[in-house]
Structure 1
């Protein structure tokens, strides 16, 4: 389903909410390219709660903090605590893994794998300290292989921060998963994997390849312009993604925007 599609009427689906790239800061009024990131996240959460659709799981797919501060991670933790469901966190390129782990250790958010509703959810750490691009370590890939081997018949969603395939923006080609081809080869050989989900690109992406649905979603703050050769900011509103999953592996998904959120984006920026 596309960004403008109507949600399905599937009876009793497993509902997953993706929130990505909030870029929170220790400063409650911290801005990213003209947007106060806590306020935009608050607007997203308020709209989700107003929909009347309750998530069974939330996937927070990286760049939780812009400044890597524990204060920012606590702010995110407190905001998503309004939902009575597990929340999976993993790091993006702006995150500080030790600071993030200090906030979520010994909580449900530290889980990297969830089995629920007939589905398996696996979160991967594609962050590379000190770099914008991503990569999956040998240990991370082995962890994925082990999870897939344990549940060969269970429909599976694999989530990470960086994009493992080309997304049509030339400037992003160098900042995806450097060994994305290795990851995708593994997933293509794993028919139980139905969805690959990521953040990082601050825009909607939806492509089907064989048994794989490849998805990315808008940020809860600023957006990047699709199909851009150089860094370019988009005027579209903050957003989030819903997924409704059936026990047979069927997938319905759509994106929502918070169009009522007032913002003035720095469109002439050459980076962030």
Structure 2
């Protein structure tokens, strides 16, 4: 790993939080609010620099604006400028009603770097897939044509690469080929990150580094024909990824797992 530079920029990615519409409701048998709060508690107890906090979709599980405000309240102790994009379980209008923070497509000037956030929730198929619409693909092409000397990190919710899990490959980015073509034509794209998979992935895409962060809620077991939760070992724990963007265009990432909160005892 290259040494950090005084001008390095640190990004923290949290994804697939799946807060339920009401506090106390369980998502796949876990309290997603408590789990996210546990991740925040962990981050507050370590020396992890955070310049920008990236929330990469499926933040709330079909909830209204109050659920997104609850999410932002849980995250309030963390430093860093906030950015969020919707996933297939998010309600975009509710996200916009919760705060004035931009939602979806956004360009962020990071000095030496540029951050491009994309909304991959267009054209849902009802099973979990989503796509970038034509206007957004055109926007991305235009942005990549500008300042080609500055390295770029792209964030979106849906994975643009197949994973080897048949059921997940059916609900990946719907127009992944069009996206990959744009990345391949832009060598300044140094990294692409996503959520959606509820697992860690480290790959390459069209010459760029590709990372997926685990969920702050539950994890999905990789390389499966059918849906299966990861129920044992470190890979079943909630987690996050951090990214360090260096002035020379290099990028480093680290994966951190957090001990899950114990389930509430049953009464009676």
Task: Give the TM-score taking structure 2 as reference length.
Answer: 0.90
Note the residue ranges of structure 1 that are not aligned, 5 or more in a row.
1-6, 265-272
Alpha-carbon distance between aligned partners in 2 of 1:248 and 1:262, rounded to the nearest angstrom: 43
1:207 to 200, 203, 220: 203
**For residue 249 of structure 2, what is the aligned residue in structure 1?**
249
**For residue 226 of structure 1, what is the aligned residue in structure 2?**
222
- Write the deviation string for residues 206-253 of structure 1: whole angstroms up to 9, x where unpaired: 013463001101000000001111000002110000111101111111
Q: Matched residue of 1:234: which SS?
A: coil
Alpha-carbon distance between aligned partners in 2 of 1:63 and 1:98, rounded to the nearest angstrom: 14
Note the residue ranges of structure 2 that are not aligned, 5 or more in a row.
none
**For residue 32 of structure 1, what is the aligned residue in structure 2?**
27
Cα displacement (A) at 1:118: 1.2
Q: Matched residue of 1:140: which SS?
A: helix
Alpha-carbon distance between aligned partners in 2 of 1:111 and 1:244, rounded to the nearest angstrom: 22
Q: Matched residue of 1:22: which SS?
A: coil
Alpha-carbon distance between aligned partners in 2 of 1:8 and 1:38, rounded to the nearest angstrom: 36
Task: Give the TM-score taking structure 1 as reference length.
Answer: 0.89
- Write the deviation string for residues 167-205 of structure 1: whole angstroms up to 9, x where unpaired: 111111110111101101110110010111000000000
Q: Matched residue of 2:70: which SS?
A: helix
What pairs with 1:131-150 in structure 2 (closer than 5 Å)? Answer: 131=126, 132-150=128-146
Cα displacement (A) at 1:164: 0.8
Alpha-carbon distance between aligned partners in 2 of 1:175 and 1:210, rounded to the nearest angstrom: 21
After TM superposition, where is structure 1 displaced by more than 4 Å over at least 4 residues in a row?
108-111
Q: Matched residue of 1:175: which SS?
A: coil
Cα displacement (A) at 1:261: 3.0
Aligned length: 257
**For residue 120 of structure 2, what is the aligned residue in structure 1?**
126
Determine whether 1:61 maps to 2:49: no
Considering only aligned residues, what root-mean-square deviation do their CA atoms show, in Å?
1.9
Alpha-carbon distance between aligned partners in 2 of 1:260 and 1:179, rounded to the nearest angstrom: 35
**For residue 88 of structure 1, what is the aligned residue in structure 2?**
83
**For residue 5 of structure 2, what is the aligned residue in structure 1?**
11
Cα displacement (A) at 1:14: 1.0
Determine whether 1:175 maps to 2:177: no
1:154 to 137, 150, 154: 150
Q: Matched residue of 2:45: which SS?
A: helix
CA contact (8 A) 2:104 2:117 kept: no
CA contact (8 A) 1:30 1:38 kept: no
**For residue 4 of structure 1, what is the aligned residue in structure 2?**
none
